[in-house]
Amino acid sequence: MMSLNQRILASASIVLLLFVGGTAFTLDHAFHDNALAALQDRMLGKLYLLMGSTEVDSAGNLSMPAELPGLPELNQPNSGTYAYITNGAQTIAWQSASILHLIPPLATRPAIDHKNFERLVLNQTPYFIFSFETEWETQTINHPFTFHVVMDSTLFDSQIDRYQKNLWSWLAIIAILLLTTQAFALHWGLRPMRKVSRELNNIEMGVQDSLHGIYPIELRRLTDNINSLLNHERKHQQRYRNALADLAHSLKTPLAILQGALRTEADAKKLQLLLAEQVQRMDHIVQYQLRRAAAVGQSPGSRLIPLRPVVEKIIKAVSRAHYSKQPQTTIKIDPALQVRIDAGDLMELLGNLIDNAFKWCQNAVCISAYNANNQTIISIEDDGPGIPQDEIARILERGERADPSVPGHGIGLAIVQDILQANGGQLSIRPMQPTGSSVTVHFAAAATP
């Protein structure tokens, strides 16, 4: 496929050539028509001078002076301008001295008091002929005469040819200059695109990690989005590498215990219990690292997700897990409210928070969300025992739990923190009065398309 520069240059060249061709055609026809009209006027003037010098007697005999005033070319042989007069019988009544051996052409006879202009070939030479038919009034009778002026068209044709050559030469020069200017203009105008291409090649080869150039406003959003996408993918890959490294490191201990037990433990029942314990421990480790790696983060291409259906789906699932409780659940979320986040991240984040609310509540759970100050604020409240203010920082650490007697792994809020950090959000926890706690999540509000 042609490059963008080649496509634009080819399109501009075609448009320019069509314009130059159309201009040349129009100017050529305009010049030809104007030159032909000027020639007709000049021949008509000679014809009027010829008629003014003519004398006709009552018998219809025509006489001309020896010297025609204003028409010296008619007395010069082979001057290229000739004249003759025919009578009503279409015989020549007079002809100029310039005709010599030429046989005057029989032009088309016009109507009385009408003019006729045509082109013909005489002795293999092109000529223009202008004819005018009139009736000469005498004292006895009117005598019809046709006056003819003939001019060699060689000079006219050479003038037209010279004009056409000059016209096409100058237009060709102008077209070349315009094409050259257009090529330089395109080269300069598309330089930022070539710069983007070079930087992307460098990124692909590992020479640089992002687009560093300063680009025009039309490309700035594209380059910013590319940089954002590259940064997101880089963080995403780093998160997976970290999770795999953490997984490998975390599995070393239970694997070492299993290897030692297989070598040293003789009691089959104890060995079975140990195996079950370590397998369960490894299962928890794998689940935890997979959850951590699944925190995708916000991508420039993340779609908008309606919030309320996700909350309702999570509540339905969590209610089955906590079937022994039937708290009053209140949802205060506008159905039109949307957030821009990966769907998996949103499910993991809200799933952990709502599960905690169900786990600790007594009789009621309230989930609300709204937009304020360019932020989407999601609040999850419960009427449980609450969290002391001095314990909030501790339970946000990985592996810490508010009450060790309650089943759990202490990583739910840590996962929430990871997801929020990846998506540019914030988490805040505050105790409520008289009981309960409120967990609030702040996101950047999704821009309206």
Instruction: Scan for tokens 């002929």, then name that residue.
Output: 129
75 plus 124 within the same structural domain: yes
Bridge partners (DSSP) listed for residue 94? 85
287 plus 310 within the same structural domain: no
Q: Fill in the amino acid letter for 227.
A: N
355 plus 226 within the same structural domain: no
Bridge partners (DSSP) listed for residue 55? 63
Give the pLDDT of the chain (449 residues) as one tens digit per residue.
567 777 787 888 888 888 888 888 899 899 989 999 999 999 999 888 888 888 888 777 888 887 887 888 888 887 888 888 888 778 888 888 888 766 666 666 666 767 888 888 877 778 899 988 888 877 777 888 888 998 888 888 888 899 989 998 998 898 889 888 888 888 888 788 888 888 888 888 878 888 887 878 878 888 888 888 888 788 777 777 767 766 765 676 677 677 777 777 777 887 888 788 888 878 877 776 676 666 555 555 567 889 999 999 888 877 767 777 888 999 999 999 999 887 877 887 888 889 888 888 888 999 999 999 888 999 999 988 888 777 766 666 654 555 544 444 456 677 787 778 878 888 888 888 778 888 999 988 766 54
What is the extent of the structural domain holding 246? 217-293
CATH number at residue 342: 3.30.565.10
Provide the domain count of the chain: 3
Contact 356, 385 (CB under 8 A): no
55 plus 155 within the same structural domain: yes
Question: Which tokens in the block code for residue 309?
Answer: 């259906």
Angle value at C-alpha 188, between 182 and 190, nearest 5 degrees: 95
Long-range contacts of 431-435 (CB under 8 A, 24+ apart): 431/386, 431/387, 431/388, 431/389, 432/381, 432/383, 432/386, 435/362, 435/383, 435/384, 435/385, 435/386
CATH number at residue 116: 3.30.450
Strands (E), 216-320: 304-306
Question: Which tokens in the block code for residue 339?
Answer: 């957030």
> Where among 293, 315, 339 does a domain terminate?
293
Neighbours of 139 (CB within 10 A): 6
Bridge partners (DSSP) listed for residue 125? 122
Element (H, E) at 90: none
Indicate the pTM of the whole model. 0.47
142 plus 24 within the same structural domain: yes
> Where among 262, 293, 324 does a domain terminate?
293
> Where among 160, 181, 202 does a domain terminate?
160
CA–CA gap between residue 63 and residue 415 (Å, rounded): 123
